[in-house]
Amino acid sequence: MRDVAVYGVGTSVFGKQPEATVFDLAWQACAEALDDARVDRVDAVFAATVFEPTGTAQRILHGLGIAGVPVVVVENACASATIAYHEAYESIRRGRYEVVLAMGIEQMSSRITGAIQPQLSDPEGQMGFAQPARYAMAAQRYMYRYGVTPEQLAAVAVKNSENGAANDRARHQHALTVDQVLGSRMIADPLTLYQCCSISDGAAAAVLGPPRQGAADVSIRSSELVGGALWDYTTDDVPGFDIVRRAGRGAYQMADAVPDDVDVFEVHDAFTIGEIVSSEALGIVDPGLGAELVASGGSAVSGTRPINPSGGLLARGHPLGATGLAQVAEIVWQLRGRAGARQVAGAKLGLVETAGGGAAGLDWTACAVSILEGNGE
Amino acid sequence: MRDVAVYGVGTSVFGKQPEATVFDLAWQACAEALDDARVDRVDAVFAATVFEPTGTAQRILHGLGIAGVPVVVVENACASATIAYHEAYESIRRGRYEVVLAMGIEQMSSRITGAIQPQLSDPEGQMGFAQPARYAMAAQRYMYRYGVTPEQLAAVAVKNSENGAANDRARHQHALTVDQVLGSRMIADPLTLYQCCSISDGAAAAVLGPPRQGAADVSIRSSELVGGALWDYTTDDVPGFDIVRRAGRGAYQMADAVPDDVDVFEVHDAFTIGEIVSSEALGIVDPGLGAELVASGGSAVSGTRPINPSGGLLARGHPLGATGLAQVAEIVWQLRGRAGARQVAGAKLGLVETAGGGAAGLDWTACAVSILEGNGE
């Protein structure tokens, strides 16, 4: 098996932009990624979307002048784009293709009004047990167990809003205060509106291939995909996140790294509690200390363990099929030292983590974790 | 790279069965495939669907007691299931996973009324240029060029209806006459209703893994996935089907076989003209002789070049995300000598071909071709 690198990345602006078609968004992201990668062809495409109809990815590629190569469209809820990236990685690593485009696309605001509704065929969905309710239950239990306060929980949204304010492609670019976060409308106690990621429109892309001589490419040290239950209903360990732990363990092992080696993280903060529990599952902090890490500024861009410098799902927005590759793009920019006002100083090793479990109550979730390394350029 | 075998296959009944949920259909297909394969675990799942909402495959697996393994959902229009099969094949061949479940699912009749509508965002869709119109144009040109008659075209539907009458899992199990086919409602001249495949509900599955000692497994001699234009608008060669030719060429080469070596074919007969042109693109007959082959009985189960013994998409029905794996199941049954009244005598080598190009006018299509070999058991 051979090494794999990211040659280039690109994203559209993320936001509520119903006037932009999915083609507008995708062409922007893919053109930037292909230009950044300095390649004149790709051998295959792995595309990700949750809601776009069949043929959308192919029509995007047609418009880009990419023709005559295999295209595989993948869907795994919120982790769709990270899985497109993972499949691209595996296809190169194992010698199936040379240069591969991974792209994630989603135009949600013209299609979905309000929140994503649970499916009525789903027993948990019938009970109204959508994602906010699920995360809220975990948050309640977590707060009870570790004595965490609503203010500490809100600190995640505050930090990510500050990071988003330095990201001109983020959906939300206004720094929030703890009072603003806690004062926003209650969605599922204790999660207020500003503690939930927003439906968004966006696209992101990456071009992957075997390492090149002297290029500004970023090495993929590891990529791990696992499936299982995100939430553990069988023990008192309600936050669960065992699959994040497993995917992280696999990715660290393959990269021959430990959590302390990693300089910057993009993790799946669909809700504030998600970032806290993920940071523990990924070994960034010990269990129970995730809230303290963020409240103390430790996970700020200037902190010792920077998490979600892009603003994360909370501030960048969460167009389901695009998010994972936007996380990859942020880490690539960070490792190249080109993240502008939100640059983590001297970042050499970065980690992407995305969990995807469907819109309605699923005990079945995918988690993908990848560790990337800059070449010091 | 190592060899890959099909351990077991299964399908639901295919038909218009709005009372059956996608879970009923999928559980039936997967349980049969897992039982047939005699395995007690799988390491990963590649699932295919075009219309089912996010999370459906995972909930099906949850119900089957399959948990804790990676699941990748793929979508490539009519070729979705063949691509799930191809991704499973590649993942084993290249040492990524050991035993993999590929499954295809689609519950259409409870969701789609009438024909699949073109997308209004698609310029060709706006013109009403849906699949029947496209195939009809190719049929007109083909008939003009080769002097083929409507009766010869209808012979495909007649043959496949006869095969479907011997397949108790087919949607249509009544042998049709040429008069019945030509007398059915005109959809897109010259294609009458009975020359178009039907929206259906169904599921199909296969379990793949490395070859086992002394098992009734079927070897995968090759599997090829290509992308490109199905129709050639740039020359007089309107039927085009260049991607079928390319995928076939790749599959024959990898299998070290020529078309004459293959004893039984399952090809993508979404419309009667599709089977004719595919049979030429796959080298089963010379260009221009596809209609004569079927009209003369050469592609009947008892003929020298049996095509679509299952009844094909025309008689078995076409639940988009399930079809490719139903084709694989038919070939596996044929190569094991267990196809009952529609058994092709002494079949040793079989070929599956599926093309998938979206519901609306796309110049971009996927084509997957696989050649399988029985072990003489």
- R_g of chain A computed on alpha carbons: 19
Q: How far is B117 from B127, CA to CA, in rounded Å?
A: 12
Residue B121 has pLDDT above 70, yes or no: no
Residue A351 has pLDDT above 60, yes or no: yes
Q: Is B78 a catalytic residue?
A: yes
Mean pLDDT of the region A140-162? 96
Tokens found for residue B15 = 């038909």
CA–CA min distance B312, chain A (Å): 23
Q: What angle do CA B50, B54, B57 make, to 5 degrees?
A: 80
Q: Which of A329-343, A357-371, B275-289 has the lowest mean pLDDT?
A: A357-371
Residue A352 has pLDDT above 70, yes or no: yes
Q: How far is CA A268 from CA A115, A165, A232, A311, A343, in A?
A: 18, 19, 18, 11, 19
- Compare CB distances from B94 to A61, A69, A96 and report the shortest one's residue: A96
Q: How many helices (H) and strands (E) are present in chain B, helices listed first? A: 12, 11
Q: Which of A358, A317, A372 is nearest to A5 (CA)?
A: A372
Q: Which residue has the higher pLDDT, A98 or B119?
A: A98
pLDDT per residue as tens digits for the range A59-83: 899 889 898 899 999 999 999 999 9
Active-site position among B86, B172, B268, B318: B318
Q: Does the beta-carbon distance from B55 to A363 stay under 8 Å? A: no
* DSSP reduced 3-state for B103: strand
Strands A44-48 and A71-75: parallel
Mean pLDDT of the region A325-343? 97
Q: Is A86 a catalytic residue?
A: no
Instruction: Give the helix ranges, DSSP H, for A21-148.
Output: 22-37, 56-64, 80-93, 123-126, 131-146
- pLDDT category at B360 given cuts 50, 70, 90 is very low
What is the overall mean pLDDT for chain B? 93
Q: How far is A1 from A90, CA to CA, in rounded Å?
A: 9
| pLDDT value of position A130 | 80
What residues of B are in contact with residue A71 (Cβ under 8 Å)?
A: 76, 227, 364, 366
Q: Which of A187-196, B116-125, B221-230 has the lowest mean pLDDT?
A: B116-125
pLDDT per residue as tens digits for the range B208-266: 999 998 888 999 999 999 998 887 777 777 677 889 999 999 999 999 999 999 999 99
User: In one letter, which amino acid is B75?
Assistant: E
What residues of A are in contact with residue B364 (Cβ under 8 Å)?
A: 55, 58-59, 61-62, 67, 71
Tokens found for residue B350 = 């079989």
Q: Quick one: how far is CA B117 from the chain centroid?
A: 21
Mean pLDDT of the region B58-74? 92
Angle A272-281/A150-165 helices, nearest 10 degrees? 90
Q: Does the beta-carbon distance from A72 to B58 stay under 8 Å? A: no
| pLDDT value of position B151 | 97
Residue with tokens 């025309």: B314
CA-nearest residue to B48 within chain A is: A74
What residues of A are in contact with residue B67 (Cβ under 8 Å)?
A: 227-229, 363-364
Residue B363 has pLDDT above 80, yes or no: no
| pLDDT value of position A126 | 73
Q: Which of B198, B208, B212, B247 is nearest to B351 (CA)?
A: B247
Which residues does B contribute to its contact with A (CB < 8 Å)? 21, 50, 53-55, 58-59, 61-62, 67-77, 83, 87, 90-91, 94-96, 119, 121-122, 225-229, 357-360, 362-366
CA-nearest residue to B224 within chain A is: A70
Mutate to test the interface with B, among A72, A107, A230 (most CBs of B within 10 A): A72
Active-site position among A30, A78, A197, A367: A78
Q: Does the beta-carbon distance from A225 to B70 stay under 8 Å? A: yes
Residue A240's φ and ψ, nearest 5 degrees, are 60, -110
Residue A110 has pLDDT above 70, yes or no: yes
Answer yes or no: are the C-beta atoms of B312 and B160 closer than 8 Å.
yes
ipTM: 0.94
Answer yes or no: are the C-beta atoms of A76 and B73 closer than 8 Å.
yes
Please report, in angstroms and rounded to a whole number, the separation of the first and last CA atoms in chain A: 26
CA–CA min distance B296, chain A (Å): 35
Residue B359 has pLDDT above 60, yes or no: no
- Work out the percent of chain A whose per-residue pLDDT is above 70: 96
Mean pLDDT of the region B183-194? 97
Tokens found for residue A288 = 């129970």
Answer yes or no: are the C-beta atoms of A88 and A208 closer than 8 Å.
yes
Q: Does the beta-carbon distance from A55 to B366 stay under 8 Å? A: no
Q: Is B218 buried (19+), middle (13-18) or exposed (0-12) by CB count in 10 A?
A: buried
| pLDDT value of position B128 | 72
- Compare CB distances from B72 to A83, A362, A363 and report the shortest one's residue: A83
Mean pLDDT of the region A101-115? 88
Peptide bond into A190 cis (omega under 30): yes
pLDDT per residue as tens digits for the range A25-49: 999 999 999 999 999 999 999 999 9
| pLDDT value of position B238 | 67
- pLDDT category at B309 given cuts 50, 70, 90 is very high
Peptide bond into A287 cis (omega under 30): no
DSSP state of B220: E
Mean pLDDT of the region A77-93? 97
Which residues does A contribute to its contact with B (CB < 8 Å)? 21, 50, 53-55, 58-59, 61-62, 67-77, 83, 87, 90-91, 94-96, 119, 121-122, 225-229, 357-360, 362-366
- Compare CB distances from B55 to A96, A229, A360 and report the shortest one's residue: A360
Residue A239 has pLDDT above 80, yes or no: no
* DSSP reduced 3-state for A247: helix
- Compare CB distances from A54 to B121, B229, B359 and report the shortest one's residue: B359
The structure's pTM equals 0.96
Q: How far is B287 from B300, CA to CA, in rounded Å?
A: 19
| pLDDT value of position A362 | 53
Q: How many CB pairs under 8 A join A and B?
A: 131
What is the overall mean pLDDT for chain A? 93
Q: Does the beta-carbon distance from A73 to B68 stay under 8 Å? A: no
| pLDDT value of position B376 | 75
Q: Does the beta-carbon distance from B74 to A70 stay under 8 Å? A: no
Residue A159 has pLDDT above 50, yes or no: yes
| pLDDT value of position A360 | 39
Answer yes or no: are the C-beta atoms of B227 and A72 closer than 8 Å.
no
What residues of B are in contact with residue A358 (Cβ under 8 Å)?
A: 54-55, 58-59
What residues of B are in contact with residue A94 (Cβ under 8 Å)?
A: 94-96
- pLDDT category at B81 given cuts 50, 70, 90 is very high
- pLDDT category at B87 given cuts 50, 70, 90 is very high
Residue B15 has pLDDT above 50, yes or no: yes
Q: Is the dihedral of CA B153, B157, B162, B164 positive or negative?
A: positive
